[in-house]
Structure 1
């Protein structure tokens, strides 16, 4: 199987990490994959904040039901939509989703674990205050990243819907196969 497809199919959300720090080189690799995501008109509507300060991370724990994940991670990357560079909200949010997926796949390839935290968006104002963000930035996600703790990827793989249940022929009258 081609390496990219293998990475996509083997990637898992990892929620427990060791104490080992993520190297600066790996952080740069992860961020580089994000900036190479496609975006409409190549506007690259994203901004990324690398968070490793323990005090900041402790404050962010209070913004999510997944405080344990944040507490375990040695690295967080907050992902924002830069409203000053956006031209179409939907297309730009889709581009940011592609950037996030690139980062998750890069983590997998680098032997790191990662999980996309979306529930934290419920506390966007509080997060933006903690991170001292300008009003032009709209929080899209926080990604927790680190070296996977032993056994953290051993849970059973969650099932996916069958193609016949989600894909249709062009006339939408017949399911795929």
Structure 2
């Protein structure tokens, strides 16, 4: 695939679409290495990743579903969402917690470090697309409670989860975009 095909072929492939085939440790290492080459102002390299596999996925699923139960009012509680939290963790071959480490000297605005981390995730996403591995970035409200699950460094926080899994590619997953001409002003 050329770069244009990879970019335009990038899709969210959700955990229910994953099959049982495991994503290899070597592939995850390649993802992380590609993430490491994202743009970063003043070389703060703010991206941090925590790889969750095997029994740790079950612990994460339990933690997230319990936290959802604790923070949700009875009238807003959704048994479907509660079950989905657990099943997404089980369905993924691996889950990467996407974290951002704020520059201790605050030399650049925080939004730039968040943007750098997002670009690192885009590198991973495009790598998954090129290798026909499914992934999905989820950033639920529950990420605000992850300091009860992970041991974060000072200034580190979770920005979401990248779910990974192989999927059956029998059907093409379509996406659409509005015309770029509607979003550009030439001066």
TM-score, normalising length: structure 1: 0.82
Tell me which residue corresponds to 2:20.
Answer: 19
Give the 5 Å matches for 1:4-15: 4-15=3-14
CA distance in 1, matches of 2:20, 2:64: 17
Task: Report the CA distance shift for 1:42/1:131 in structure 2 as closer, same or farther (over 3 A).
Answer: same
Provide the rounded CA distance (Å) in 2 between the counterparts of 1:135 and 1:43.
Answer: 15
Partner of 1:175: none
Q: Does 2:156 correspond to 1:137?
A: yes
In structure 2, what is the equivalent of residue 48 of structure 1? 49
Which residue in the other structure is 1:148 paired with?
167
Task: Provide runs of 4+ in structure 1 moved above 6 Å.
Answer: none
Aligned-pair Cα RMSD in Å: 2.1
How many aligned positions are there? 165
TM-score of the superposition, structure 2-length normalised? 0.78
Q: Give the gaps of 5 or more residues in structure 2.
A: 69-80
Alignment check: 8 A CA contact 1:56 1:130 kept: no
Q: State the structure with bigger RCO (CA 8 A, min sep 6), 1 or 2.
A: 2
Higher share of residues assigned helix = 2
